[in-house]
Amino acid sequence: MKYFIDPGRARESINFIDNIVYSHAKDLQGNSLELKMSIMSQNGNSEMKAAAGEQYQEAKRAARPTILWIPGGGFRGVDKNLMVAEVQYLVEAGYIVASMYYRGSHQAHYPEQLKDVKTALRFLRAHAEEYDIDPQKIGVMGRSAGGHLSLMAAMNTSGYDTSEWAGFSSNVQAAYDLFGPGDLVTLMENDEVEMRNPNHRWKKIEETHAGALLGGDPATMKERAKEACVKYFINKDMAPILIMHGDNDPLVPLAISEDTYNDICHAGLEDRVDLYVVKNGGHGTPEFFQLQTKQIALEFFNQQLRSR
């Protein structure tokens, strides 16, 4: 059978640009590392551009709000693109989504991971024209360890910017935290309780995700972990935050996100934070990328990055 159809052009094509080097960093042994990101956006027919060259011309697109996706993985390092398909809905809604790799705990200790996030943010602003990014409207979003780094980036505190892409801001205008451990001290204390079980996967605090992230003397870990706790950085310049956490999370207790929410409210910034408790939600279980949860996230970013 032969058919004639007219699908129109209402939906724009999505392009995926991978392995963009945004930073040159060092690991714990002093070895050089290239830190990379990917960028996904609706910015025209790249295949036609490549085939037709200068003959293929398109009108310049307006700058778009951008969201930096920060993956999880217990701070131990994870493929930047492992779950990037789950955030394609944001690209379909007109956002640019960048997904980054940051140094794992085997490569660097905190706060180097936060420095990587802030370097990635400055890179996006430095290359805003190249990628059609609106530099005034950049948000962050992450799950688990990436949720923690999203929260810390949302504080918009100084002192974590490196010399790379100097002159560009690393501040964000919105942050979405999916079940991130906003208080590493409490997370470590929870792990200490779990380690009373002789069958627990870890035997020493330095083996835990938080312990490996901090490194150094185990005796001082809890005190040093305060530098990675949101409650010590809450301030009037912080970005609006959306928190989503399951009520059945076996790895990061819901109470950690509840405390983060309460700490922000008690600071008089209750208009900057929303907490959604996900029924039966575990740690990264499918509930977090259903139509309802995606709609909540989309409405949040629309409010913070489009309507303002």
The answer, yes or no, to whether residue 265 has pLDDT greater than 60, is: yes
Alpha helices in 7-159 (DSSP H): 46-52, 88-92, 112-126, 128-131, 145-154
Number of residues in the chain: 308
Amino acid present at 239: A
Reference 158, options 105, 124, 118, 127; nearest CA is 118
Residue 147 counted as domain residue: yes
Domain annotation covers residue 24: no
Is 33 among the domain residues? no
* Domain assignment present for 4: no
Q: How many domains does the chain have?
A: 1
| 43 and 89 Cβ atoms separated by less than 8 Å | no
Is residue 308 predicted with pLDDT exceeding 80?
no
**At a CB cut-off of 8 Å and minimum separation 6, what does 305 contact?**
65, 67, 95, 137, 138, 139, 173, 174
Residue 287 inside a domain? The answer is yes
What local confidence, expressed as pLDDT, does residue 120 receive? 98
Bond preceding residue 111 cis, omega within 30 of 0: yes
Indicate the pTM of the whole model: 0.94
Rounded Cα distance between 300 and 42, Å, is 21
Strand, helix or coil at 116?
Answer: helix
CB 241 within 8 A of CB 175: yes
Do the domain assignments include residue 42? yes
- 77 band by pLDDT with thresholds 50, 70 and 90: confident
Chain mean pLDDT for the chain: 94
- Give me the CATH number covering residue 71: 3.40.50.1820
Q: What was the pLDDT predicted at 220? A: 95
Cβ burial, residue 203 (10 Å; 0-12/13-18/19+): exposed
Contact 61, 91 (CB under 8 A): no
Asked if the structure places residue 172 within a domain, the reply is yes
CB-neighbour burial class of residue 233 (10 A; exposed 0-12, middle 13-18, buried 19+): middle
13 part of a folded domain: no
- 53 band by pLDDT with thresholds 50, 70 and 90: low
Are the CB atoms for 282 and 265 separated by under 8 Å? no
Q: Express each pLDDT in 161-179 by its tens digit.
A: 999 999 999 999 999 999 9
Domain around 89: 38-56+65-305
